[in-house]
Amino acid sequence: MLSRMNPLGASLSGDSLCVEFQARADYYSEEGHGPHEYLELGNFALESGLTLPNAKLAFKTQGTLNKAKDNVILFPHMWSGTSKSMEIFIGKDRPINPDKYFVILPGQFANGFSSSPSNTPPPFNGGAFPNVTIGDDVRAQHRLVTEHFGIKHLELVLGWSMGAEQTYEWAVRFPDMVKRALPFAGTAKTTPHDYIFVRSHEDALKSDPAWNNGFYKHQSDVHVGLRRHAQIWSVMGLCQDFYNKEAWREAGYTSLEDFLHRFWEAYFAPMDPNNLIWMGWKWRHGDVSLHTGGDLKAALGRIKAKTYVVPFSRDMFFPPADCEAEQKLIPNSKFRVIDSLWAHFAMFCFTKSDRDQLDSAIGDLLSEQVS
């Protein structure tokens, strides 16, 4: 059986995932996620009109920035993730080779390391944290790229799920900077069905009386809400074929209940409910057409990057048809589907086929000649 690691670094077979999560007093620690660097943003003006005092953006890097500063890949992470989440795609034997590229793994607001409900002092602590947007994330990341590193162009921006939303935002907001864009399993504008789903998993967390409008003492106090939340994800995160074919067995689980407890509940149990809720609000309000008065065609028409739009088959959040409808509005773009029983979670690379298809998409785009 393949050695399977989730994007947070914990084994997803045997007992190690659950044991590791239970052993951590603080999930958002560098012990579990590795060291970060931080860009101090000062008093950061949010798109909501509020100012976030002493804001910070966590990030990681791999590889070396060359003298010309033209070997840069930006890889923002998904909802619920951290900068560590995308490290599984970097390697000397992978298309994202740190010997060739300088890879920036930026955080986002509310991810537990950057400014978040879980780490911000009053008046914006806990349930009082302001709503943040994909645009806020990308503006902060732009400061990291341009002001901190002095980079003018990005060879590739890519991301999965909410990382795909950030990829689209980069390509639309800064079209002259992004040479290639690869949104995996995500859309440029959240669809109504996706919006309803995200709100439902936010409401599952809020349904626990211990949530207390976001002012609980410890994240584990909201364990009932976190379990309800995990149950909703178990329905929508995968697909009927996955469960009918018992694909969880290949990943080392012994029964359906075993999978539900040791995969879904164990994944979410150590996370901060407010962080998940505030990232969820950001997800469901993702919309690049805000740049063009609500005209999605005009917004996507601004993209100059060579773009691969790559959904996952059987994905119920971002079905291929939704992604293809947007791809048809993007100049110089291609559409390809990754086939996987793991549906939206193909990005976890549980199978060699998933990993190979993902690497192929990344490698093919990087080999495309762009001006």
For residue 10, the model assigns a pLDDT of 40
In the three-class reduction of DSSP (H, G, I as helix; E, B as strand; rest coil), residue 213 is classed as: helix
CA distance 187 to 160: 10
- Region 236-251: mean pLDDT is 96
List, for residues 72-85, the tens digit of each pLDDT value: 999 999 999 999 99
Inform me whether the pLDDT recorded for 236 exceeds 50. Answer: yes
Which is catalytic among the residues 161, 229, 287, 322?
A: 161
Give the Cα separation of 205 and 369 in Å (integer).
46
Question: Which pLDDT tens digit goes with each residue over 292-323?
Answer: 999 999 999 999 999 999 999 999 999 999 99
| Token output for 289 | 């057409």
- Supply the pLDDT for residue 371: 81
Answer yes or no: are the C-beta atoms of 13 and 4 closer than 8 Å. Answer: yes
Contact 243, 4 (CB under 8 A): no
Angle (deg, nearest 10), helices 162-173 and 134-143: 60
Average pLDDT of every residue of the chain:
93
Residues 140/296, Cβ–Cβ less than 8 Å: no
Q: Are strands 102-106 and 72-74 parallel, antiparallel or unpaired?
A: parallel
Please tell me the predicted confidence (pLDDT) of residue 26: 85
pLDDT by residue (tens digit) across 154-206? 999 999 999 999 999 999 999 999 999 999 999 999 999 999 999 999 999 99
Q: What percent of the chain has pLDDT over 90?
A: 92
Residues 6+ away with beta carbon under 8 Å from 68: none
pLDDT at 25: 52
pLDDT at 3 exceeding the cut of 80: no
Question: Does residue 342 contact residue 247 with C-beta atoms inside 8 Å?
Answer: yes
Distance of CA 216 to the CA centre of its chain: 25
Catalytic residue flag (residue 161): yes
Mean pLDDT of 42-49: 98
**Over the stretch 332-362, which tens digit does the pLDDT of each residue have?**
999 999 999 999 999 999 999 999 999 999 9
Per-domain residue ranges of the chain: 16-367
Q: Is 115 a catalytic residue?
A: no
Question: Of the listed 315, 322, 340, 354, which one is catalytic?
Answer: 315
Which pLDDT tens digit goes with each residue over 249-279?
999 999 999 999 999 999 999 999 999 999 9
Q: Which fold has domain 16-367?
A: Rossmann fold (3.40.50)
Residue 16 has pLDDT above 60, yes or no: no
Which residue in 36, 77, 229, 344 is the catalytic one?
A: 344
Distance separating alpha carbons of residues 173 and 169, to the nearest angstrom: 6
Percent of the chain clearing pLDDT 70 (strictly above): 93
